[in-house]
Amino acid sequence: MTNLLHRSIRNAALFTGIALGAVHASGQAVATGGRGAELSPFAFATVVAPDYGQPHNLGYTLGIDYTRFIRFILQPSVEVRFARASGQQIDENSFGGGLKFHTRIGRVRPYAAALIGQGNLTFHHEGIDTKIDKSTAIWYGGGAEYDVNSQWRIRGEFMQQYWNLDPGSITPSTFSIGFAYSIPFRHGRGR
């Protein structure tokens, strides 16, 4: 219990630090008037520390962000993602969505995100598979994107998860690295 509390406090401090760092990054680019919105599909290779059994599982994450640019230092996005990770002792599948806030510092976009969704877990123990369907899953964390060019970005992130298994819970964490592709949309004048 104490370890879980310390880990939750550490991750909350990390999430807050990313968000506050983004707010204090003044003098950086604010979205221009000609730039209205963008879709950004992304794909990650993901390493999961499952909080059960083996030290890590390998998997992938696929998703898409929709950003409507506003004249403010933080840009809000709506994100939807699917993740899958498999291991010898536990498999995780999850689908969810939520909010992401990012800012720009040169070619780097630090961000913080909070998502909620559902997931399925399969525990492998002594040849018997136990499946838990439709567990509520919450993700929070952050990362950064690096603009390779105007459309391609390299993206890395750390996310803490909370899975409500009623009566218990698990708190896996993930580290992911991958890429995103920007599909810009222009709104208003100048079309």
Q: In which band, very low, low, confident or very high, does the pLDDT at 93 lie, cut at 50, 70 and 90? A: very high
pLDDT in tens, 143-179: 999 999 999 999 999 999 998 887 888 899 999 999 9
Residue 160, token pair as written in the block: 């803490």
Structure-model confidence comparison of residues 190 and 114, the more confident one: 114
The pLDDT of residue 3 is 53
Bridge partners (DSSP) listed for residue 154? 146, 179
The pLDDT of residue 191 is 38
Query: Mean pLDDT across the chain, nearest whole number?
Result: 82
Structure-model confidence comparison of residues 132 and 31, the more confident one: 132
pLDDT above 80: residue 115? yes
The full set of domain ranges for the chain reads 2-23+36-185
For the chain, percent helix, then strand, then coil, each to nearest 5?
10, 60, 30
- CATH fold for the domain made of 2-23+36-185: Porin (2.40.160)
pLDDT in tens, 60-92: 999 999 999 888 999 999 999 999 999 888 888
How many whole angstroms separate alpha carbon 11 and alpha carbon 169? 17
Closest by CA to 150, choosing from 30, 40, 18, 23, is 40
The pLDDT of residue 34 is 52
The pLDDT of residue 146 is 97
The pLDDT of residue 30 is 44
